[in-house]
Structure 1
């Protein structure tokens, strides 16, 4: 028996010990909910669970020792290959057994289209213990490699938090998505644990300070007062019903649909922040009109500065200076298309003189795309509407202090529900993606938008 065989046996023994320990813990939890519970019964069950714990520790130690031994063997083999004379070196690589990283449970060379993964998910719901074991190993691998991304780790017994193998979503051609460029630069907050509103207090009547008229006379006084600002928590959700035939007889269907639901979730959230009635950025921002039958980028730029001036005037000492300009990609490329012989009189930090700004050459959705001549970062977001104005062909440019664009989200959003029983009569599997969010751009009336006929569908003429 080789060292690799011993390691494989040790891994299997550890997996079995972990499964047994989990079963003992589940039995203990179930026992504690028994109304006829006795202290002796609990003590006995705790002892059994602790024994299972000890077995897990023992098996883990045994595996660690074997892995350490294997690592040392690999080091010795590598050293030997470097120092041995050519005539006396070991056989060729493909003529001897080698032990490297353990293979993943689901691999593209054996399950290229995800059939085994999907089959195991379905079989686990029907009580197939071997399928459950494979899924448990897969989740353990995911926690090792991407643990920071698995915030909410549902037990495999519930099968509500399974992670789709990454390679299944890497190689197919998904439908393009606008995703969430603006949402990603908003000031983030964790969603409160309970309630369907987020309440903020805003001081709307200030105190008063003035010069005292004469000695021993009353000084200025005004009672401070606040107003409660209530922000609704909204639910962003989408669903898809797949036939069991598509899942069980198809290949890679479920992860592809799930990935698309996540993409639509991101786009929907971002669209609400920009365009939602009453509270969306377009509806709370103060308009800066740019009316021009023959618009040019050099004529547009002063409007940008006018908007930024309004942002600072609204915030005063509450201004963070972390301003951003949010625009559609067609507007960003139109501004890059502009050429001329003039430049701003006053140069700005981080921007080369005699330029109209800087393009960072980032791709869509990867953060700041560049800076304007005054150093304001640009966020490109194609969730901005392009059917505005009387001619239904205008877009808008938004200018905001990003720290006053507040977004509350559940840290674990979006969540995934996979329900089989609901559609069992029609052999359907219901997939639901959902999450809670709340937002406001109106804690202060700071947001500005450039709008008007100067922002019709651009023509790329170099002017």
Structure 2
């Protein structure tokens, strides 16, 4: 086994140790959110996490020692090359790169466009050790076959017809989208197979119960009545017409366009859930005003609690307790920037009193981003409008019971159509993406929103 093999094994062992440590840390965070948390359970999980930490340190030390040994070997080899006369140098058999009947690393007959080489260049940049090894072997083969050409002092400008630009299509940068964080967090239902309206019966007049005044008197009676909640099924769609040449002669053009259409479909749906006139969350939520010319996170938080109180008061025994706070990323980071010297009188499950909340450090769109001081999960969604209010620079914070925000979608949505005939005479291909959905936040009028001049564009001053 060579030193390079030992280094590769050490890197694999370090990656495994890092993965194990990450899993232990995630398990510790999940445990701390358990309402029945005990100190013994936390201590046991911390011990396991610390053991994983120690294993990462041990594996890193072993790898560093091997890399230092490799660097020293390279220094010795370079010193030997400078001090040994050329006529007397006789490299060992296994230190010479030979090209005979062995296959080249990258063969033109198997990879005419050089896609394998391009992928390895991109993967090596991202830290793929196997890709780096293949590229190193390829350069050794090139030095053996064309060493004299590689060392000539001629710039690439002398070979404009041979040194061609490369396009790393695997690393294309898609257009960034807000996507659908809120839609993924609320209560989802399969859309019925037929109809363009979804109807729900709401009991708006309930029965009554009261004490009987006298024996044999009639007991209390109130006739129940309902009101029909009719929810329209909406259709969302988008299209793109491509030339046949771009599809047949391009690299991944069709899949890139479809990916963009799918993500824009998701962004549109999520934005409608929040911002659509009359039925969107902003339109149906009851406002909790926060008016302040010099807003602070400490002053905002009581308004959030007021809104959550209103959610529970509206739902009473229908409250699930699975509340959500939905806000723009600028508001989430502004709340994180605040520093405080006071702690809440009542601590919450999974929250250390001095911390006043928790950040899970999740990436955008990956679910719950953290917890407010009262343990309410936070969904960060950049479909939340930031041009509200008289100054068109305010955003809003939405407080809801997630089980009372309903979304109906086709299981396979969005669908797409690939049509060639309509544009056949111009060699065009039409790609159409569409889907049906329905939603309501009004089965119970429970949603609240914190809004007002206290939610203008934030300044990050630590308050």
TM-score normalised by length of structure 1: 0.64
Matched, 1:109 2:113: no
- Cα distance in structure 2, aligned partners of 1:223 and 1:169: 68
- Cα distance in structure 2, aligned partners of 1:423 and 1:279: 38
Question: In the alignment, what sits opposite 2:353?
Answer: 353
- Cα distance in structure 1, aligned partners of 2:304 and 2:453: 15
Question: In the alignment, what sits opposite 2:309?
Answer: 309
Question: What is the RMSD computed on CA atoms of the aligned residues?
Answer: 2.1
- Cα distance in structure 1, aligned partners of 2:115 and 2:411: 31
> Are the equivalent residues in 1 in contact too, given 2:169–2:251 (CA < 8 A)?
no
Q: Secondary structure at the match of 1:288?
A: strand
Question: In the alignment, what sits opposite 1:400?
Answer: 400
The count of residues paired between Structure 1 and Structure 2 equals: 307
Question: In the alignment, what sits opposite 1:380?
Answer: 380
Structure 1: which 5+ residue stretches go unaligned? 1-93, 97-102, 113-167
- Cα distance in structure 2, aligned partners of 1:254 and 1:401: 40
Question: In the alignment, what sits opposite 1:318?
Answer: 318
Alpha-carbon shift at residue 109 of structure 1 (Å):
3.1
The correspondence of residues 108-147 of structure 1 with structure 2, limited to 5 A, is 109=116
Question: In the alignment, what sits opposite 1:332?
Answer: 332
Identify if the C-alpha distance between structure 1 residues 317 and 111 changes in structure 2 by more than 3 Å, giving closer, same or farther: same
> Are the equivalent residues in 1 in contact too, given 2:267–2:383 (CA < 8 A)?
yes
> Are the equivalent residues in 2 in contact too, given 1:169–1:256 (CA < 8 A)?
no
Alpha-carbon shift at residue 423 of structure 1 (Å):
1.2
> Are the equivalent residues in 2 in contact too, given 1:169–1:255 (CA < 8 A)?
no
Question: In the alignment, what sits opposite 1:342?
Answer: 342
> Are the equivalent residues in 2 in contact too, given 1:169–1:259 (CA < 8 A)?
no
Q: Secondary structure at the match of 2:181?
A: coil
- Cα distance in structure 1, aligned partners of 2:115 and 2:319: 51
- Cα distance in structure 2, aligned partners of 1:169 and 1:348: 49
Matched, 1:428 2:421: no
Structure 2: which 5+ residue stretches go unaligned? 1-100, 104-109, 120-167
Offset from partner CA, 1:325-351 (integer Å, 9 cap, x none): 000000000000000101211100010
Identify if the C-alpha distance between structure 1 residues 245 and 222 changes in structure 2 by more than 3 Å, giving closer, same or farther: same
Q: Secondary structure at the match of 1:109?
A: helix
Question: In the alignment, what sits opposite 1:147?
Answer: none
TM-score normalised by length of structure 2: 0.64
- Cα distance in structure 2, aligned partners of 1:313 and 1:169: 54
Q: Secondary structure at the match of 1:454?
A: helix
Identify if the C-alpha distance between structure 1 residues 111 and 457 changes in structure 2 by more than 3 Å, giving closer, same or farther: closer
- Cα distance in structure 2, aligned partners of 1:108 and 1:435: 35
> Are the equivalent residues in 2 in contact too, given 1:240–1:430 (CA < 8 A)?
yes
Question: In the alignment, what sits opposite 2:284?
Answer: 284
- Cα distance in structure 2, aligned partners of 1:186 and 1:407: 7
